[in-house]
Structure 1
Amino acid sequence: MKPVTGHLEIQRLADLSDDELVAAYAPRSGPWLRVNFVSTVDGAATGSDGLSKSINDDADGRVFDALRSRADCLVVAAGTLRDEGYDVPRLPLVVVTRSGDVPPKLRDAPPGRILMATVATADGLAEARHVLGEGNVMVLGEEEIDLAALKAQLADRGWDEQLCEGGPSLFADLLAAGVVDELCWTVVPRLLGGDGPRIATGADVDVALRPVLLLEQDGTLLGRWLVE
């Protein structure tokens, strides 16, 4: 790595081996919650089809895979899971939902692979416990999910490297709860215009970030930002 200014390091992605790339994202402490997003230069977090997969590219995919290889678990909002068509990943996947609905593609996952963070008033709570197993359903509040408790409970399971892949509303809520340690943000060299979502929407937040790593490939910028 090449120190440029302060603690920011800039490097060509192609110059890093797979092992070096994974090492470049080592957490500073634990438990560690990082959030990974992609957007266009003008801030669109999805393409015109409403999906992030339509704006990502090979560089983003390589870092995406590196982050997943480090992670102990994934944390994803139920709406994002349904919209993006998630299959059952190799990692434990925590579905964040106030309704308690288990996305259809995840209902037949091996026992313990899918978990849920929800609330006591969730309409689907009883069914979620039946489908996923009572020990895999975390009730973390009456009507709102306690996201600090979620981070702590995942760490109690031994999952110190926690990777959130969205969506924008969950990201804003995590920021508001003060539990995000890092944003991994890919900016692809495209402009889309329109009124698509940003990477954080909903809750009002004002969070300072410190860039510590910037990778580049074919005009795509991949940054690592620590929450101050």
Structure 2
Amino acid sequence: MSEPLDLQRLADLSDDDLSAAYTPEREPWLRVNFVSTVDGAATGSDGLSGTINDDADKRVFDTLRRRAHCLVVGAGTIREEEYDVPRVPIVVVSRSADIPPTLAEAPPGRVLMATVATSDGLADAREALGEDHVLVLGEEEIDLVALKAALAERGWTEQLCEGGPSLFADMLAAGVVDELCWTVVPRLTGGDAVRIATGAEVDVALRPALLLEQDGTLLGRWLVEAQGAGWSTT
């Protein structure tokens, strides 16, 4: 059994303390970050996560982004949340290889595409991003084990995924997730909002490693207990 965790006040941690609290246990390390309500909704009524997050979540969100060597995000989530170009390279996961509009004018090398050989948009993505920035990882389905390894080969050993829920479930099924960073905001929304993981059926054991609190918001690190093919000690 896991040892019981002490609940720590987020406000008691300096920025350096908070960053250190999220230090990976090994390399490469793929963490996934989500926010949800107490009743499990990953978005607000408008279908966006921004309507349910708060200052505590934003502080940890910013900390994880500062630590990350790259972001890995599904193309649908980038479009829905209207991502700006982040300070670190962003890897768009898309079988269609369609570059989201908000990233179309990004500086060279800041956007990578992870896609498949059969994608209709492969040639356009190569022309727009450069061949070195388009990762072809499978024929029909994206090989997420190969994706994690390819990013680590570029020196991006601390990898941060921000969803969406279907990509998270696929990553769990592929055995590449090392950690879930999960914020629970003190709200109930009802309805039929999407959960943080949808699609692929998985049964993954987690071990709590950190629990923070601020104004009723709980922020935790959950480490994946049983690793799959995506795990590496290199």
Q: How far has the Cα of 1:29 moved from its partner?
A: 0.3
- Residue among 196, 200, 204 paired with 1:203: 200
- How far apart, CA to CA, are the structure 1 residues paired with 2:224 and 2:185? 22
Q: How far has the Cα of 1:102 moved from its partner?
A: 0.3
Letter in 2 for 1:93: I
Task: For structure 2, list consecutive stretches of 5 or more residues without a partner in the other structure.
Answer: 226-234
SS at match of 1:94: strand
- How far apart, CA to CA, are the structure 1 residues paired with 2:5 and 2:119? 44
Quote the residue 1:52 is aligned against: 49
Instruction: Tell me the alpha carbon deviations over residues 19-55 of structure 1, each in whole angstroms, 9 at most, x when there is no partner.
Output: 0000000000000000000000000000000000000
The percent of aligned pairs where both chains have the same amino acid is 79
- How far apart, CA to CA, are the structure 2 residues paired with 1:115 and 1:199? 24
Letter in 1 for 2:132: G
Quote the residue 1:34 is aligned against: 31
Quote the residue 1:17 is aligned against: 14
Question: Contact between 1:72 and 1:162, CA under 8 Å: does it hold in 2?
Answer: yes
What is the number of equivalent residue pairs in this alignment? 224
- How far apart, CA to CA, are the structure 2 residues paired with 1:6 and 1:201? 29
After superposition, the CA RMSD in angstroms is 0.8
Q: How does 1:70-89 map to 2 (within 5 A)?
A: 70-89=67-86
- How far apart, CA to CA, are the structure 2 residues paired with 1:84 and 1:123? 24
SS at match of 2:62: helix
- Residue among 206, 214, 218 paired with 1:221: 218
- How far apart, CA to CA, are the structure 2 residues paired with 1:15 and 1:152? 36
- How far apart, CA to CA, are the structure 2 residues paired with 1:164 and 1:151? 11
Q: How far has the Cα of 1:123 moved from its partner?
A: 1.1
- How far apart, CA to CA, are the structure 2 residues paired with 1:87 and 1:15? 31
Please list every run of at least 4 consecutive aligned residues from structure 1 whose deviation after the TM superposition is greater than 2 angstroms.
7-10
Letter in 1 for 2:213: E
Task: For structure 1, list consecutive stretches of 5 or more residues without a partner in the other structure.
Answer: none
Q: TM-score scaled by structure 1? A: 0.97
